Amino acid sequence: MKKIAVIGFGFMGVVHAKNVITAPDLKLCAIIDNRDGDIFAGIESTGNAGELNLPLEKLKQVQVYKTLQKCVTKQQPDAVIICVPLFLHYELTKQALNLGLNVLLEKPFCPVPEQCQELIELAHTKQKILMIAHCVRFAPEWQFLAECIKNQRYGELQLISTSRIGGEPTWGVWQDEKTKQYCGGSLLDLLIHDIDFTNYCLGFPATININLKCDEYWEIALNYPSSPAKISIKGGFLHRHSTFESTCAATFANGSIRFSSLEPGVIHVGADTGTETVNVSGDAYCNELEYFIGCIKHRLKPEKCLPEFSMQTIEVCNKISQSILN
């Protein structure tokens, strides 16, 4: 039974805490949050992707700490899941690794590649698993697409067109005009999901073109040396409270596939011979957690989501931001 502590009990921390507490072979030994007041107040209305069915009574029995140091002294966790705002990723991950803990860090890695590199080396020195939680790699619809690209189920890939749009977050640090500037905007908060996914499938882009940018909305074209396919990544923040939707369309030599977050688990396939629906199941965050725990148990590198790769995704995002300044 592995003991897991969740650091940061906000929007994503609640999701991870729920998944740990409901996993048969894991113990949620602590929640660490430095907020004053009752951290459980109002959590029924927080969390990611709608209805979470939170085991509230069980969660309330978990020991809460204000600092990681105190938690480690009392609980000796095997791993932490870090779910704090981006500008705290470096410090908290460094602290956790120095305390000898395995770390699942919410995406994105750190804003500065040198910080990422330092943490990768620290994890190596301490012989601990460090994985960045790029959940899209673990989402069944996207896994289906990755397999179609790899095994050419519908022939050679010609196009991937993604869109990820929603209102600017209304919770946590996003409510503070000054602090939110250190959260990376829609590029590092939203679009990085799709950029990381296309990097995962195709390598790293040779050229990047910003076709359109309007405030926090982007239309980006990526060109990968490994593939002649056209890659279009669109989306960003609209006004607060705008409905969230992530969609993907991919076309191959012999067929096209489409899916949307508004219709989870359903993949529409169109080909000259007719239409087909492929149903997939599973939860990206549960899959991601299970994979991370498997890596800890078997002392395996998280090959499916290496921190070195997550750092390169940060570098791609930094190139995108810089190209808008030039």
Ligand X SMILES: NC(=O)c1ccc[n+]([C@@H]2O[C@H](COP(=O)([O-])OP(=O)(O)OC[C@H]3O[C@@H](n4cnc5c(N)ncnc54)[C@H](O)[C@@H]3O)[C@@H](O)[C@H]2O)c1
Residues of this chain that bind ligand X (CB under 6 A): 7-13, 32-35, 48, 83-86, 88, 106-107, 133, 135, 171-173, 189
Residue 252 Cβ vs ligand X, minimum distance, rounded to whole Å: 27
Which residues sit opposite 275 in a β-bridge?
Answer: 270
Residue 310 Cβ vs ligand X, minimum distance, rounded to whole Å: 12
Place of tokens 């921390």: 13
Residue 227 Cβ vs ligand X, minimum distance, rounded to whole Å: 26
Residue 58 Cβ vs ligand X, minimum distance, rounded to whole Å: 19
- Rounded to whole angstroms, how far apart are CA atoms 231 and 41? 43
Q: Which is nearer to ligand X, 125 or 175 (CB)?
A: 175
CA 181, 186, 189 angle in degrees (round to 5)?
A: 90
Q: Which is nearer to ligand X, 19 or 251 (CB)?
A: 19
Structure-block tokens of residue 98: 């120095």
Q: Which is nearer to ligand X, 140 or 255 (CB)?
A: 140
| Residue burial 173-209, b: 16+ Cβ < 10 Å; e: rest | bbeeeeebeebbbbbbbbbbbbbbbbbbbbebbeebe
Which residues sit opposite 164 in a β-bridge?
Answer: 235, 246
Enumerate residues 6+ apart whose C-beta is below 8 A from 324: 210, 213
Q: Which is nearer to ligand X, 164 or 224 (CB)?
A: 164
Q: Which is nearer to ligand X, 72 or 83 (CB)?
A: 83
Residue 10 Cβ vs ligand X, minimum distance, rounded to whole Å: 2
